[in-house]
Structures are given as C-alpha cells and as structure tokens.
Structure 1
Amino acid sequence: ACAPFRRLHVCDQNLEQIEPIKITNTHNLLVDVCMAAKFEGQSITQDYPKYQRTYGYSPSQICTMLARSFADIGDIIRGKDLFIGNNKRDKLEKQLQKYFNNIYENLEGAAKKHYNGDKENFYQLREDWWYANRHTVWKAITCSAWGNTYFRTTCSDRNGSFSQANKYCRCNDDKPGNDKENIDPPTYFDYVPQYLRWFEEWA
C-alpha cells in the first residue's frame, strides 16, 4: 500500500529492539508500546511548526495527526499494518509474534484456553490487548500535545452527551501530569481500515 510520508517514519524502533525474553506479561509490553507512542507524539509536535508555516494554524490539526499515528501503531500491534518497506515490517511482525507468544504462555486457566486456537499469529490476543490498553497509549502519544489543541466533538460523558476534547487532545479535562483513569481516546481511527485512513490523508 502507498503509505503517507508520516507513516514511513513512525517511531517504532524500540519495539524491534526489545529482547523477547523480557516480555513476560502485558505490562512489560505496554511500557514499550507507550514509549514508542511518546516518541511518535514528540516527533509530530516538534515538526508541526514547520507544517504551520506552510499551511497555516488549525488547533485541531495536530490532534488529527496524532490520531493517525495512534491508529497506525494499533495496526502494527494487531498485525494489520499494510506498509511494505524493506524488511522492517516483517522483522517487527516476527518480534511481536514472539512477544505475544510469551504473554500467552504466562496466561493461566480459562484465559489461556480462550486463546488456544490463536497460537500461530495471536491475532485475537493482540486485538484484545489493544482494546484493553488503547486509552493508555493515547495518553502516551499526546504527552507533548499543546494545551490549546482540541479534537472534534467525539468525547462522551456519563450522561451520554458528546463534548469536545478541549486541551491536549484528551477528553474530560484529562491532561499530562494529572492523568485520569479510564478516559477513552476521542478517536476511533484505529477501527477504521488503514487503507481508508491513508486515502483520506493523501486527499
């Protein structure tokens, strides 16, 4: 697939370099995925002023860029990434299969039995892992987001009404240094097929 320029440079190098033996549970992997997301978020926010000088300022633009990379990281973790570039993708995919094999081997009882038929690529385990941890990865990728950035009206509150992600691209006044628990990301880009996101980004 013809990946956008942003995808060519997603900061996932640390995921390739982890020794599989060190990934024994979901928490170990989450730390490294969040580290990759944090570096990716920093690279986007640092490069945004260059974009701004060319195309002008839009407070929601940086949140959209972060959401696109967030979704690409989700696709990488779940084995759905379409980017074909040298042997990097295959190498990372093999590493991720080893990581999730180690996580699987450390499961017990019903949990291990549940994923027993998933052992070749661990796609279901990876899907469930991403669903359980996506809110934490979103916090990591938005760590360097500016205080005046916002996303469109995609946050929901306890009353079922929708509001905007005002400040730091996060919902319900969540922000770096004052993280709130279980705050959902204000985006579902990670559940939109990657090729459709890329078409929209190229457009």
Structure 2
Amino acid sequence: DIGDIIRRRDLYRGNDEEKKKRDKLEENLKKIFKNIKNENTELTTLTTEKVREYWWNANRATIWEAITCEAKTDDKYFRKTCCSGEWTDDKCRCKNKKTGKNDTDQVPTYFDYVPQYLR
C-alpha cells in the first residue's frame, strides 16, 4: 500500500531482489522528506516520521485521484465505503452529497489507517 510505504509502515518483506528495490526506494524517500522538512519552516522541528505522516495526510486524496484517473465512470470500489454507506460509483471515488461538486472527491477507504496485518 502506498500509504504504508510513504509512512514507513509497510510489512512486506519480499524476496531479495524486491528487498533491494525497497531499500533503494526508502533511501530516495528519506532524501525527499529531508528536503521537504528543510524547505518548510513549519516542519523543521518535526521528526522525519512526522513529516512523512504530514505529507501523506496532505496528499492522500490527490494520490487516490491519480490512481483512479483511468477508472470508468461506473467503476466501483470492491465494497461500499463512502461515508453514507453507498457505492463509490464515480471512478471509485466518493462525492460529497451536500454539494455534488467534483472538487469534493474523497478517498473511499480508511484502510491506510488500519494496521496492514489486519487488512
């Protein structure tokens, strides 16, 4: 899961080749988050783990939108996950039913906050 990788909570151990790739990814992510921390004065006092969490919270909706950008209009997430208990019947996204506007897309899952071993 992307959120687990970003927040360094991924439990996947994989084979040796995958481990090398994951180590390289982690090395690059450390550099990226160090740069984010150094460029934003509000984040300089936070630990790198907190910066990762901050970044994920700020960007998870955009990432979900990118993941689902090629989904068809009637595609659904595998279960009813919108706050209202309805299907995600618009490109796997929940829409804010109060306004009905596209700019209120919501990530339809809370899985990124459930420990990986429980999913």
SS of 2:82 mapped into structure 1: strand
SS of 2:81 mapped into structure 1: strand
Find the partner of 2:81 among 147, 154, 169.
154
Q: Give yes or no for the alignment of 1:79 onto 2:8.
A: yes
Residue by residue over 1:126-152, the C-alpha shift from the partner in whole angstroms, topping out at 9 and shown as x without a partner, is 011101111110000011212222233
User: Which residue is equivalent to 2:22?
Assistant: 89
Q: Distance in 2 between matches of 1:126 and 1:185?
A: 18
Q: Distance in 1 between matches of 2:104 and 2:25?
A: 29
Once the two structures are TM-superposed, the CA of residue 79 in structure 1 deviates from its matched residue by 1.1
TM-score by length of 1: 0.49
Higher strand share: 1
The count of residues paired between Structure 1 and Structure 2 equals 110
Find the partner of 1:167 among 62, 69, 90.
90
User: Which residue is equivalent to 2:110?
Assistant: 188
Q: Distance in 2 between matches of 1:172 and 1:112?
A: 31
Whether the 8 Å contact between 2:38 and 2:44 is mirrored in structure 1 is no
Whether the 8 Å contact between 1:155 and 1:163 is mirrored in structure 2 is yes
Once the two structures are TM-superposed, the CA of residue 162 in structure 1 deviates from its matched residue by 4.2
| Greater RCO (Cα-Cα under 8 Å, separation 6 or more) | 1
Task: Please list every run of 5 or more consecutive structure 2 residues that lacks an aligned counterpart in the other structure.
Answer: none
AA partner of residue 112 (structure 1): L
Whether the 8 Å contact between 1:135 and 1:182 is mirrored in structure 2 is no
Q: Distance in 2 between matches of 1:126 and 1:86?
A: 21
User: Where do 1:24-173 residues align within 5 Å?
Assistant: 72-84=1-13, 85-108=18-41, 111-115=42-46, 118=47, 122-151=48-77, 152-156=79-83, 161-172=84-95
| Cα RMSD, aligned residues only | 2.0
Task: Please list every run of 5 or more consecutive structure 1 residues that lacks an aligned counterpart in the other structure.
Answer: 1-71, 174-178, 198-203
AA partner of residue 188 (structure 1): Y
Q: Distance in 2 between matches of 1:185 and 1:78?
A: 17
SS of 2:87 mapped into structure 1: strand
TM-score by length of 2: 0.80
